A and B are shown apart, each in its own frame.
Chain A
């Protein structure tokens, strides 16, 4: 299989607690893969090892066949991995378009340039990315006054600047209203299809996951307990146990069986 991202036997402990225990999976080109699990399952730990924020105790992460385990976040980004944060991280003192321009300046390796005016560099290119995520109208607003959902879309624009082949998104819709969630996920799905991107995302909201993911992995107590299509995961007894102790899980999508 020609995997964009391959994770093998990834392991990480904090003290005596195995936060991530022998996790292995592949992510194919063009795939939208969701990593779900209850609180404390190890999603974020898993995620942070792929983005370079945490060093694994064991196991490997490879991008297009070459190992990236333990590389710094900025090196991993250079190799074509974009990411967004669970809690948005943007440059509050800049305008929206300048946020994107900053990423483009880094993309074009001109961070240390002292001569040109930064606000003129790659402005059109940046506006293009903002247009893509539907933020062009707000390009010259102060980033600090944006609504939360708009910040999330801005982050997505920033993540696309380096023409990544892989997007890692940590809870892309956390803290958003249901309507906004669907809109953002649809946007992501469109961009993925259009640019042949691969996406790995963690998510709390099951509606979002089942509506958009191509494939779902379930993590519980650091172990992968299921890996399959949406339908397979829904039917998985073990997953249902993990989530609701055996009760019916996905009531929002299914007609309630009683009352």
Chain B
């Protein structure tokens, strides 16, 4: 009984920081519609800044003062990010901003590394709260009790701010209808900036407050990201009480999981989320999103046409040129191009879903990793030959996509995105913790192609055929009735349903097809590297693909492939430097600001301006 209560209290204490960070994310999304991927980074920043301030400021007053000051400082950093990075791209296509926030993650990671160094920092104890209290014989840290006491006050203050003040009214109004608030004479830019300040300050507070319990390290940003997404989704987007409830639920569950089901702590959180969403699709306290046709921001996509003879010739020449790579380029280039090809197929598969279907999946790594692990497990446990493994990888991933898609497609918009992310994380935690089968963190190694394909040249040709084949197949599907129906479901679900198209079935099929293609890429990846590790299923994998599709250009057919090729090449060059994340992050941000239509879209516009391409007709 004592242990039970002690653990309950630990869970409640952990919920504090989680709630603060998650409510910030929820707030920012509610008003600006920006899914702030960098929210975990502000949390990490809060931990580091808080650490430094606590070294400087003395005593109990200094400790708590440092926490408050951290909130303000991190909030101000958020303001800088909002003004410099996000403002220029508010008008860009929907969700484009999340690419920019991903750039911010990378930049903050390297800045933290530069300033505070690579070693983990142990957080200082809170003055006056160093010991433990014995409750029914079990030790409970005093600081935990303090946190349990403080969190409801933070929640209450936040609630008061949102529900009772003029600013809060504006924020709530903006959450419901931004344009109307703008029309009523409220300066939207400053409202957005203000909300960003508040959201980031909350993340910073969360980071500082957990210092005595968890310290600061460079992996915190991604480690908390999945949890706060889960909290926001379980609680219901935009609901503060929901976020608190969910934070408590997740934290308590975690603590009990560690004690009673140590092999499945990570899985547990996602299982609970999936269960909650199956019963209450909009979270515990969330309200149903008023879903009309998805707001197309920017100009609508142009009609597509299959490539003409000239373009086909150019593409054929390009492929022929690629085929020459092993003959004329040094061996490392062959390996690099193999990687790029695989990545391009992965990106193209996401683009099919995102660009044509308007289905923003945050968890596409599930299928890449799913294919990779299908292949690797077959080889490791069933001694299956590469040929069979490569055949079953897309099938396995496709099957996975059928299951995940069936559940996720009941939701739309950002809920869909979050749920896909959660399923990817569920898979990741499954692989990570089921060490007996998957090798856990050690991965599955020594999975090489058979003798005939073992040379990098032969494997290159294998990858070339399969990846180019896969990409062309996806392209053809885009021009087939199925691809048209997918676009129809995206453009106007109402009209599609009213003319007999089962839009969910179409989207489900697209999900499975995209999943299978990502799985094929994953299968090839395993044999190219000879191994597979859980990080192929991580959030960063999914994000890589998202970045690439957005950078390439969502509203262009070749956006995925071109983005993939450029991104992998740039990454390959940049990763040779010590602070490559900083460089890559800044590059991404620069592209986002300078070319908001993506690489292909911007090139096309340039071509039209120079008279090389035929411009579309103007609005009549």
A residues in contact (CB < 8 Å) with B: 51, 72-74, 77-78, 83, 85, 89-95, 98, 101-103, 105-107, 110-119, 121, 141-147, 155, 158, 161-162
Task: Report B476-504 residues with CB < 8 Å from chain A CB.
Answer: 476-477, 479-485, 487-488, 490-492, 494-502
Which residues of A lie under 8 Å from residue B477 when comparing CB positions?
A: 114
Contact at A94–B303, with CB atoms within 8 Å?
A: yes
* Distance to closest chain B CB from A154 (angstroms): 10
Question: A85-B498, A93-B300, A93-B490 given. 16 additional CB < 8 A pairs?
Answer: A73-B497, A73-B498, A74-B502, A77-B500, A90-B492, A91-B488, A93-B302, A94-B487, A105-B485, A111-B501, A112-B482, A113-B481, A118-B483, A142-B302, A145-B616, A147-B620
From B302, B480, B488, A102 is in contact (CB under 8 Å) with B488
Q: How far is the CA of A155 from the CA of B301 in the complex (A)?
A: 20
Which residues of B lie under 8 Å from residue A158 when comparing CB positions?
A: 495, 499
Which residues of B lie under 8 Å from residue A113 when comparing CB positions?
A: 480-482
Chain B's closest residue to A103 (CB) is B499
Q: How far is the CA of A80 from the CA of B477 in the complex (A)?
A: 29
Q: How far is the CA of A51 from the CA of B304 in the complex (A)?
A: 32
Contact at B303–A95, with CB atoms within 8 Å?
A: yes
Q: How far is the CA of A103 from the CA of B509 in the complex (A)?
A: 19
From B476, B484, B501, A74 is in contact (CB under 8 Å) with B501
Chain A's closest residue to B478 (CB) is A118
Check B58 for interface membership: any CB of A closer than 8 A.
no
Contacts A/B (CB < 8 Å), 6 sampled: A77-B499, A91-B492, A93-B490, A102-B501, A118-B481, A162-B499
Q: How far is the CA of A71 from the CA of B443 in the complex (A)?
A: 50
Q: How far is the CA of A73 from the CA of B95 in the complex (A)?
A: 30
Interface residues on chain B, size class: 35 or more
Check B619 for interface membership: any CB of A closer than 8 A.
yes
Which residues of B lie under 8 Å from residue A115 when comparing CB positions?
A: 480
Given A74-B498, A74-B500: A111 touches B492 (CB 8 Å cut-off)? no
Q: How far is the CA of A90 from the CA of B618 in the complex (A)?
A: 19
Check B506 for interface membership: any CB of A closer than 8 A.
yes
Check B436 for interface membership: any CB of A closer than 8 A.
no
* Distance to closest chain A CB from B253 (angstroms): 37
Contact at B484–A94, with CB atoms within 8 Å?
A: yes
Q: How far is the CA of A103 from the CA of B491 in the complex (A)?
A: 14
Contact at A119–B299, with CB atoms within 8 Å?
A: no
B residues in contact (CB < 8 Å) with A: 293, 296, 299-306, 476-477, 479-485, 487-488, 490-492, 494-502, 506, 509, 616-620
Q: How far is the CA of A89 from the CA of B498 in the complex (A)?
A: 10
Q: How far is the CA of A212 from the CA of B484 in the complex (A)?
A: 37
Contact at A112–B303, with CB atoms within 8 Å?
A: no
Q: How far is the CA of A107 from the CA of B492 in the complex (A)?
A: 17
Contact at A145–B499, with CB atoms within 8 Å?
A: no
* Distance to closest chain A CB from B427 (angstroms): 28
Contact at B487–A91, with CB atoms within 8 Å?
A: yes
Q: How far is the CA of A234 from the CA of B616 in the complex (A)?
A: 50
* Distance to closest chain B CB from A107 (angstroms): 7
Contact at B480–A116, with CB atoms within 8 Å?
A: yes
Which residues of A lie under 8 Å from residue B497 when comparing CB positions?
A: 72-74
From A51, A116, A141, A147, B481 is in contact (CB under 8 Å) with A116
* Distance to closest chain B CB from A198 (angstroms): 18
From B299, B476, B481, A121 is in contact (CB under 8 Å) with B481
Contact at B487–A93, with CB atoms within 8 Å?
A: yes
Q: How far is the CA of A90 from the CA of B616 in the complex (A)?
A: 19
Given A102-B484, A105-B485: A142 touches B303 (CB 8 Å cut-off)? yes
Q: How far is the CA of A184 from the CA of B616 in the complex (A)?
A: 28
Which residues of B lie under 8 Å from residue A114 when comparing CB positions?
A: 476-477, 480-482
Which residues of A lie under 8 Å from residue B485 when comparing CB positions?
A: 102, 105-106, 111-112
Which residues of A lie under 8 Å from residue B480 when comparing CB positions?
A: 113-118
Q: How far is the CA of A113 from the CA of B480 in the complex (A)?
A: 7
Contact at A98–B484, with CB atoms within 8 Å?
A: yes
Which residues of A lie under 8 Å from residue B500 when comparing CB positions?
A: 74, 77-78, 106-107, 111, 162
Q: How far is the CA of A77 from the CA of B482 in the complex (A)?
A: 20
From B491, B501, B502, B619, A90 is in contact (CB under 8 Å) with B491
Which residues of B lie under 8 Å from residue A94 when comparing CB positions?
A: 303, 484, 487-488, 491
Q: How far is the CA of A143 from the CA of B492 in the complex (A)?
A: 12
A77, A78, A119 pick with most chain B CB within 10 angstroms? A119
Contact at A119–B305, with CB atoms within 8 Å?
A: yes
Given A91-B487, A110-B481, A114-B480: A77 touches B301 (CB 8 Å cut-off)? no
Which residues of B lie under 8 Å from residue A93 when comparing CB positions?
A: 300-304, 487, 490-491
* Distance to closest chain A CB from B487 (angstroms): 6
* Distance to closest chain B CB from A111 (angstroms): 5
Contact at B495–A145, with CB atoms within 8 Å?
A: no
| Closest 4 pairs between A and B when the two form their complex, measured CB to CB | A89-B495, A93-B301, A92-B300, A91-B491
Given A90-B492, A90-B495: A112 touches B487 (CB 8 Å cut-off)? no
Contact at A119–B499, with CB atoms within 8 Å?
A: no
